[in-house]
Amino acid sequence: MIDLQNVTKSYGDVTAVKSLSLHVREGEIMGIIGHNGAGKTTTLKMIVGLVSPTSGRIRVMGREMSQGRTSVKQDIGFLPEESSLYDKMTVTEYLLFFAELYGVPRRDARRRLEDLLTSLDLSRRDQRTGELSKGMRRKVAIARALLHNPRVLILDEPNAGLDPLTSFFIINYLKSLKEEGKTLLVSAHNLFHIEYICDRVAILRDGELVICDTMEAIRESLGRREYEVVFQSDEPLEFPREEGNYVFQTRDVGQVASVLERVSENGWALVNLSVRESALEEIYVRLMKG
């Protein structure tokens, strides 16, 4: 669906993206993360044709992507990190204006606008965009990116600076778009959101791809898995105690089996057996330090 082959972007002596090869599959949500200056925004702008690569090739839906290639851009919805609105226009006026720019017929545009504003829970349709809260303005910008019903969505920090409830609403909304068959490439600093909605995650560092895989595979290769056995016994034992319970923690599944055997053999009461796996944020921090 989106294919980057050995893509490099340089600005004078500074190389923002270095020989990046990345493939986003049709119908998936891919997250792209990295520190400030890692090359995320530059990569997204190259994909949508706002910036031309210094070298390498970019294809979207099998077609070459370059500035001015409108046939490809018709199938792409782009939400930049900073998305200014026309403050003196009402929400309806603003979206109908952009629908006309996208070439959406007026009758279809009104139906599409109604569906989008309803699904985004945006009721203030006759209010000027300059009078809306930041969360409402972000919803309007998302609606604008979806007006022409694109197959591919490129979203740069879709929930940046929003309150937790609005932010989580938008993340869940993006998840629902995948169920409609859309392909999404999402950049975000909130790694919990990336982990929550993405099928795969690409991590960039200094313009280069560090890893791109599913969360399960990333955890398997870079994460940690810790087991915890909580049980009760009247006997004095060598295990740490917390709130009247004995607690045993280990990364060795064999040691877990040994403790469970002791619990069973001695008739101790098993309170809980749990597994904790590394969150994306923990893995990311460890990668950046490395």
pLDDT in tens, 51-64: 999 999 999 998 88
Query: Which of 220, 250, 277 is at the close of a domain?
Result: 220
Number of domains in the chain: 2
Pair 47, 164 in one domain: yes
Pair 128, 260 in one domain: no
Pair 204, 242 in one domain: no
Pair 63, 141 in one domain: yes
Pair 168, 253 in one domain: no
**Residue 145 — pLDDT band, cuts 50, 70, 90?**
very high
**pLDDT above 70 for 171:** yes
Pair 139, 281 in one domain: no
Residue 75's domain comprises 2-220
Pair 181, 230 in one domain: no
Asked if 8 and 56 touch (Cβ cutoff 8 Å), the reply is: yes
Pair 67, 127 in one domain: yes
pLDDT tens digits, 12-25: 999 999 999 999 99
Rounded CA gap, 228 and 112, in Å?
Answer: 51
Pair 254, 125 in one domain: no
